[in-house]
């Protein structure tokens, strides 16, 4: 039997992308970006502040970094809580020491449960992005759109109320999405999201409610990915970040500004045996005069100021 002709018909087959979400382009051929004050490399340190429910449902999949033992998994629950009670304050000291302006991607449930931590972030004036409702509130294909809309509305409305910020950035728990997620985020006033990791620079992303910005937050350089998933050593983590810095800086010298995006967790790098490794990384990156440390929204704004009419 011959193959039915319909199997060879694909209306989106073309040069470039097979969807309408964003335009295709080679990174090396885009307009050169210049960061403020002549800096070549933008440093985006994104701190994930997370609440993992001890009675997680794991729908539709077990939460990465979540509970692994039979309920109640107090060992992992309290380890995650350690980051929000102890580790994050070591982060703050390191940021101040090396002049880092981070973005804090915070679960709304954590903001409700830890008012002291939220107050400390508000006093610092750093950007707060929404990391979803909590780490077990996943977004996924097949999720009823009204359920997801209510989930996003609750997370954003409450975090904006508690933080006093507009909260224009989003990182999904476990970077999980449905096909509707970007549209619902734009519908709720989100200007950038960080779930897609397919670039080293921001790019325009189309939704049903207008254009937003995809801000790629490297998964390859994430502390959890390197240390927990790949089981590399702490020193290897330092070497990989420094290598990425050197390469991106060299590329930026030739092709225009680049972003070094570091996604870190206080329950990982905030441990007493690891915090010095974060400090080594920050000391190395900030040793020269070519790096601009800024929050994600400020990096996006600097990017858009040079590309929106291009």
Write the DSSP assignment of 178-234 as a string of letters. -TTHHHHHHHTT--EE----S-SS-EEEEETTEEEEE----STT-HIIIIIIS---H
Q: What is the pLDDT of residue 310?
A: 53
**C-beta separation of 216 from 194 below 8 A:** yes
Which pLDDT tens digits describe the chain residue by residue (310 residues)? 678 888 778 888 888 888 899 998 999 889 999 999 999 999 999 999 999 999 999 999 999 999 999 999 999 999 999 999 999 999 999 999 999 999 999 999 999 999 999 999 999 999 999 999 999 999 999 999 999 999 999 999 999 999 999 999 999 999 999 999 999 999 999 999 999 999 999 999 999 999 999 999 999 999 999 999 999 999 999 999 999 999 999 999 999 999 999 999 999 999 999 999 999 999 999 999 999 999 999 999 999 999 976 5
Rounded-to-10 torsion of CA 222, 226, 230, 235: 180
DSSP state at residue 7: G
Domain range list for the chain = 36-307
Helix, strand or coil, per DSSP, at residue 308:
coil
Residue 74 region by backbone torsions, left for phi larger than 0, else alpha for psi between -120 and 50, else beta: alpha
Homologous superfamily in CATH for domain 36-307: Glycoside hydrolase/deacetylase (3.20.20.370)
Give the integer Cα–Cα distance in Å for 40 and 51: 35
Burial class, 287, CB count within 10 angstroms (exposed 0-12 / middle 13-18 / buried 19+): exposed
């Amino acid at each position: 039997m011959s193959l039915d002709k319909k199997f060879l018909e694909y209306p989106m087959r073309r040069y470039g992308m097979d969807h309408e979400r964003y335009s295709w382009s080679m990174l090396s051929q885009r307009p050169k970006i210049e960061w403020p004050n002549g800096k070549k490399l933008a440093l985006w340190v994104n701190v994930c502040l997370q609440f993992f429910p001890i009675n997680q449902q794991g729908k539709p999949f077990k939460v990465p970094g979540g509970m692994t033992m039979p309920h109640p998994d107090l060992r992992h629950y309290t380890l995650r809580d350690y980051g929000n009670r102890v580790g994050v304050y070591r982060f703050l000291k390191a940021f101040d020491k090396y002049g880092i302006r981070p973005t804090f991607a915070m679960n709304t449930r954590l903001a409700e449960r830890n008012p002291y931590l939220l107050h400390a972030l508000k006093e610092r004036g750093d950007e707060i992005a929404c990391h979803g409702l909590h780490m077990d509130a996943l977004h996924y294909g097949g999720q009823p759109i009204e359920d997801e809309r209510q989930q996003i509305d609750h997370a954003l409305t409450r975090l904006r109320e508690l933080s006093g910020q507009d909260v224009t950035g989003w990182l999904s728990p476990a970077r999980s999405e449905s096909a509707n997620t970007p549209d619902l985020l734009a519908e709720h006033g989100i200007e950038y999201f960080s779930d897609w990791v397919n670039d080293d620079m921001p790019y325009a992303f189309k939704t049903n409610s207008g254009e937003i910005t995809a801000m790629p937050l490297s998964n390859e350089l994430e502390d959890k990915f390197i240390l927990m998933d790949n089981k590399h050593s702490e020193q290897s983590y330092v070497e990989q970040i420094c290598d990425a810095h050197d390469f991106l800086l060299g590329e930026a010298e030739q092709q225009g500004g680049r972003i070094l995006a570091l996604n870190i967790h206080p329950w990982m790098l905030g441990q007493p045996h690891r915090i010095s490794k974060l400090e080594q990384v920050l000391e190395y990156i900030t040793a020269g005069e070519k790096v601009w440390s800024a929050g994600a929204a400020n990096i996006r704004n600097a990017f858009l100021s040079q590309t929106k009419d291009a």
